[in-house]
Amino acid sequence: MSAVSRRRFLGLIGAGAATAAVGATAAVAVSRDQADALADAVPFFGSHQAGILTPAQDRLHFAAFDLTTERRDDVIRMLRAWTDAAAAMTAGLEVGEFGATAGPYDAPPQDTGEALGLPPSGLTVTIGFGRSLFTDSSGGDRFGLAGHLPAGLIELPTFPGDTLDPARTGGDIYVQACANDPQVAVHAVRNLARLGFGTATVRWSQLGFGRTSSTSAAQATPRNLFGFKDGTANVKAEDPDANTSVWVQPADGPQWMVGGTFGVARRIRMTIETWDRTSLREQEAIFGRTKVDGAPLSGGDEFTEPDFGAMGRDDVPLIAMDSHMRLAHPSRHGGVRMLRRGYNYTDGSDGLGRLDAGLFFLAYQRDVRTSFLPVQQMLARSDTLNEYIRHTGSAVFAVPPGVAEGGYIGQALFEA
């Protein structure tokens, strides 16, 4: 916390005390505002990075950065600055010693200022590393890190039906900012991009709204842009196997990744107009669930385990063999699960007047090779939903463990 930010924070408390001397009603209002702001802050420091098992917020700003430097020290310096800034912003504080308004009048402010007066809004900032941070396209060792490349940080194969845009694929370093206020999330990425000037540039980014999965049992299951509940069977923070499903374990290696996780991002465009002309019967058959409450077509409620052996008329399975739920269900993949925390997106319309909208899929897992990869291979081959979606962007990244105060994200890697 910067000196000026500390003074401002303490000043708010002091103002509340002074107000109490003038009028009890005003003092209560200030105290409630302060309590709400503090309660809305997610701790940045810890053994794991926040923004993964954290209850999913409503808004996203995801950005992939390319490094423009060849100096390892520059990368470390940027990661130190990003860590300090992220810790301040997640606490609802301004970036830098002088923040947005208290610095020299003829110098650029240290904080861009669009979050002034806003609470932390549950902001989390999660940082991960792409494969290209370790080796370049020819296998060269960019920053002396090639020997620490995790085996799980793979290059995904080209799946059937992929129409990936190179401008929305890959990157050296990733930032996921999630918050319950879009301006707070955008502010976070904007300030990190400013701090990275001369060392990194934004390669591509995505804004998201309306979470499409729940990461806590306290959250209701949301709906995607096709109108169906998404992520009913998602890993929840309260699940007994959450830690072993999400976090890299000591036996997995490398050591610098223990307590971290592997992330996959996929930009999935939905052909909204075609879907909207599809019958409800067909829509439900494609997903394998009812639209009204998300119950499996084999019966029960949303959280009833699907009965894949249940038959309807003419001995036809109630849950189709090529339905999305059947193909993605953990029972088809040895019980291995991944944590999903995707978001809806809408990026206007294309030149033909069609909505450029869909799902920005985000998933975290202990090992991409045993979680996302086999699931996506099966879905890409057989899922009837493929008629209505196109994968247009992609990234895989290693998310290092959390950091203690005084350290920086990725320190165990750079000092290994």
Alpha helix ranges (H) inside 202-352: 242-246, 272-275, 280-287, 324-328
Q: What span, in angstroms and rounded, lies between the C-alpha atoms of 416 and 410?
A: 10
- The three-point CA angle 145-168-370 to 5° equals 60
Q: What span, in angstroms and rounded, lies between the C-alpha atoms of 402 and 393?
A: 27
Residue with tokens 């019980």: 335
Task: Answer with the residue of higher pLDDT: 30 or 77.
Answer: 77
Q: What span, in angstroms and rounded, lies between the C-alpha atoms of 86 and 33?
A: 22
Q: What span, in angstroms and rounded, lies between the C-alpha atoms of 120 and 184?
A: 7
Q: Which two tokens stand for residue 325?
A: 């739920």
Alpha helix ranges (H) inside 346-408: 372-382
Whether residue 254 has a cis bond before it, omega within 30° of 0: yes
Q: Which two tokens stand for residue 277?
A: 């002309």
In 78-88, which positions are buried (b, 16+ CB within 10 angstroms) versus exposed (e)? bbbbbbbbbbb
pLDDT in tens, 159-218: 999 999 999 999 999 999 999 999 999 999 999 999 999 999 999 999 999 999 999 999
Helix pair angle (3-22, 24-39), 10° resolution:
150
Q: Is the pLDDT of residue 33 over 80?
A: no
Nearest residue to 270 via CA among 162, 369, 158, 389: 389
Contact 40, 120 (CB under 8 A): yes
Alpha carbon of 181 to those of 184, 345, 391: distances in Å?
A: 5, 15, 27
- Number of helical (H) and strand (E) elements in the chain, helices listed first: 10, 9
Nearest residue to 134 via CA among 180, 172, 183: 172
- The pLDDT, as a whole number, for residue 4 is 40
**Strand, helix or coil at 6?**
helix
- Given pLDDT bands bounded at 50, 70 and 90, which one contains residue 352? confident
- Interval 388-409 mean pLDDT: 98
Q: Where are the domains of the chain?
A: 40-414
Q: What span, in angstroms and rounded, lies between the C-alpha atoms of 97 and 77?
A: 17
Alpha helix ranges (H) inside 69-132: 72-90
pLDDT in tens, 295-334: 999 999 999 999 999 999 999 999 999 999 999 999 999 8
Contact 60, 360 (CB under 8 A): yes
- The pLDDT, as a whole number, for residue 22 is 36
Percent of the chain with pLDDT over 70: 91
- The pLDDT, as a whole number, for residue 137 is 84
Q: Is the pLDDT of residue 127 over 80?
A: yes
Q: Is the pLDDT of residue 107 over 50?
A: yes
In 305-318, which positions are buried (b, 16+ CB within 10 angstroms) versus exposed (e)? ebebeeeeeeeebb
Q: Which two tokens stand for residue 368?
A: 């991409």
Alpha helix ranges (H) inside 223-369: 242-246, 272-275, 280-287, 324-328
Alpha helix ranges (H) inside 92-181: none
pLDDT in tens, 264-296: 999 999 999 999 999 999 999 999 999 999 999
Residue with tokens 């998201």: 208
> Of all helices (H) and strands (E), which one includes residue 202?
strand 200-211
- Given pLDDT bands bounded at 50, 70 and 90, which one contains residue 39? low
